[in-house]
């Protein structure tokens, strides 16, 4: 059976677990058309999502390629 | 990070610009004192009737960075709200209005939208569940290959002794691997969702962010069902062997179910 565990405290999760939510989710006020509201842009957050790209494909290919080396019988 | 402010659009006034930091929209004023928020400013509410915005003062000139102290203060206010309010519609970190009037305008111009969202999340919280592949051997990729003999065959052609794969061949192969990983993630996500069915109100599948992360679910859960969900998650863990870890966290305000993207009120500009 998989190890099952709670992250953070039982009282509702530690800061680490909730940071992504606070930064990326929730109501967003459009900063570009605001007049009486000032939005503060957090940059660099989206970059953490793994986006499929040529780099990803090459990385996957190499990662799987390495399993071949591992699986190959060592020369006698 | 940039601090974007519109110039020249402020109402004419000699008063210093006291900004208002926004935490959440709630249907009624909290019955308890919410203590202090960002920069140790006291937390209060703005609004009438069925919609209140939970805020604290903050000079608009102040640069607010996503540093631990500020994130912790934001989270602490939300956490206290979650314990005491029937519905908490959270704002994303770093939302600052340049005055009480701006907040009132926001409420007025998006009244129905906000009411609808509040209704949807009334009595609900969010729990997140995450499946990761933790074994080093066999690795996650070996685990994947075990289910895909065709990938093993392609791998041996491309990477076997004496072969010299071109970049294009590698990209094509990587795409096939990516598809297989996506399908595996989808299947595991569904398996967890099915195991939780009947105990959660709604489920969102979130993108995985690491190679060995195989499922990430945001679950909308009745406050009264949170305690009962833990044994269900334990049970769901039995569907996976010891090469996997199933982690869960929460309850949080229902961030993943409050994805309103609204325009700031701009009535003054004409």
State the pLDDT at residue B16: 52
pLDDT band at B260 (very low <50, low <70, confident <90, very high): confident
Provide the strand spans (E) within A8-67. Answer: 28-30, 37-41
Calculate the average pLDDT of chain B: 87
In order, the DSSP letters of chain B are -EE---SS-SPS--S--EEEEEEEEESS--SS---B-GGGPBEEEE--TT-EEEEEEEETTS-----HHHHHHHHHHHHHHHHH-S--EEBPTTEEESSHHHHHHHHHHTHHHHHHHHHHHTTEEEEEEEEEE--SSS-HHHHHHHT-HHHHHHHHHHHSTT----HHHHHHHHHHHHHHHHHHHHHHHHHHHHHHTTT-SEEEEPPP-STTEEEEEEEEEEGGGHHHHHHHHHHHHTTS-TTEEEEEEEEE--GGG---EEEPP-GGG-
**Cα B269–chain centre separation:** 33
Which chain B residues have a beta carbon less than 8 Å from that of A63?
141, 177, 211
Å between A76 CA and nearest CA of chain B: 16
pLDDT at residue A33 in the model: 30
B91/A27 Cβ within 8 A: yes
Residues of B in contact with A66 (CB under 8 A): 141
Strand A28-30 vs strand B261-263: parallel, antiparallel, or unpaired? parallel
The CA distance from A32 to the nearest CA of chain B, in Å, is 8
> In A, which residues are within 8 Å of B227 by CB distance?
none
Which chain A positions have a beta carbon within 8 Å of B254's beta carbon? Answer: none
**Cβ contact, residue pair A25, B64, below 8 Å:** no
CA nearest A4: which of B242, B245, B236, B231?
B245
| Inter-chain CB proximity B261 and A28 less than 8 Å | yes
Q: Report B:208-247 residues touching A (Cβ under 8 A).
A: 208-211, 230, 233-234, 236-247
Residues of B with Cβ-Cβ distance to A71 under 8 angstroms: 142
**Contact B174/A36, CB-based, under 8 Å?**
no
Tell me A31's DSSP state. Answer: S
| Distance from C-alpha of B242 to C-alpha of B221, rounded to nearest angstrom | 27
B97 or B187, higher pLDDT:
B187
Which residues lie across from A28 on neighbouring strands?
Answer: B261
The yes-or-no verdict on residue B119 having pLDDT over 80 is: yes
User: What is the token pair recorded at B197?
Assistant: 């069915």
- Residue B70, pLDDT above cutoff 70: yes
3-state secondary structure (DSSP) of residue A27:
strand
pLDDT of residue B19: 83
- A40: confidence class by pLDDT, cuts 50, 70, 90: very low
The pTM assigned to this predicted structure is 0.80
pLDDT given for residue A69 in this prediction: 67
pLDDT band at B115 (very low <50, low <70, confident <90, very high): very high
Q: How far apart are CA B217 and CA B110, in angstroms?
A: 29
Distance from CA of A67 to the nearest CA of B (A): 7
pLDDT greater at residue A10 or residue B129: B129
Size of interface A-B (CB pairs under 8 A): 261
Quick check: helix, strand or coil at residue A45? coil
Residue of A nearest to B11 (CA): A36
Q: What is the pLDDT of residue A30?
A: 63
Residues 6+ apart with CB under 8 A from B160: A68
Residue A30 is nearest to which of B93, B134, B263, comparing CB atoms?
Answer: B263
The three-state secondary structure class of A18 is helix
Backbone angles phi and psi of B261, in degrees to 5: -120, 105
More confident residue, B157 or B161: B157
Report ipTM (2 d.p.): 0.72
Q: Which of B213, B7, B217 is nearest to A48 (CA)?
A: B213
């Amino acid at each position: 059976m998989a190890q099952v565990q709670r992250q953070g405290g039982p009282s509702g999760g530690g800061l680490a677990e909730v940071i992504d939510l606070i930064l990326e989710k929730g109501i967003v006020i459009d900063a570009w058309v605001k007049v009486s509201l000032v939005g503060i842009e957090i940059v660099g957050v989206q970059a953490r999502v793994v986006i499929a790209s040529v780099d990803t494909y090459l990385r996957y290919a190499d990662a799987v390629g390495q399993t071949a080396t591992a699986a190959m019988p060592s020369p006698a | 990070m940039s601090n974007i402010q519109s110039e020249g659009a402020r109402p004419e006034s000699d008063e210093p610009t006291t900004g208002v930091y926004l935490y959440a929209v709630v249907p009624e004023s909290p019955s308890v004192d919410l203590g202090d928020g960002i920069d140790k400013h006291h937390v209060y509410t703005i609004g009438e009737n069925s919609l209140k915005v939970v805020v604290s003062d903050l000079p608009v000139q102040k640069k607010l960075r996503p540093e631990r102290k500020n994130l912790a203060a934001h989270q602490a206010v939300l956490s206290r709200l979650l314990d005491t309010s029937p519905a908490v519609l959270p704002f994303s970190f770093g939302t600052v209005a340049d005055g009480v009037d701006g907040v009132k305008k926001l409420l007025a111009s998006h009244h129905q939208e906000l009411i609808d969202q509040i209704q949807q999340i009334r009595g609900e919280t969010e729990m997140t569940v995450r499946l990761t592949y933790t074994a080093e051997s066999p690795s996650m990729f070996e685990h994947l290959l075990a289910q895909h003999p065709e990938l093993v065959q392609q791998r041996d052609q491309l990477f076997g002794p004496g072969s010299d794969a071109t970049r294009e061949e590698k990209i094509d192969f990587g795409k096939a691997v990516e598809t297989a990983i996506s399908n595996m993630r989808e299947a595991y996500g569904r398996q967890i969702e099915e195991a939780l069915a009947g105990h959660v109100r709604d489920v969102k599948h979130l993108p995985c962010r690491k190679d060995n992360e195989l499922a990430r679910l945001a679950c909308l859960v009745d406050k009264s069902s949170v305690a009962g969900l833990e044994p269900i998650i334990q049970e769901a863990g039995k569907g996976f062997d010891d090469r996997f870890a199933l982690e869960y966290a929460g309850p949080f305000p229902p961030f993943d179910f409050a994805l309103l993207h609204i325009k700031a009120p701009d009535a003054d500009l004409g």
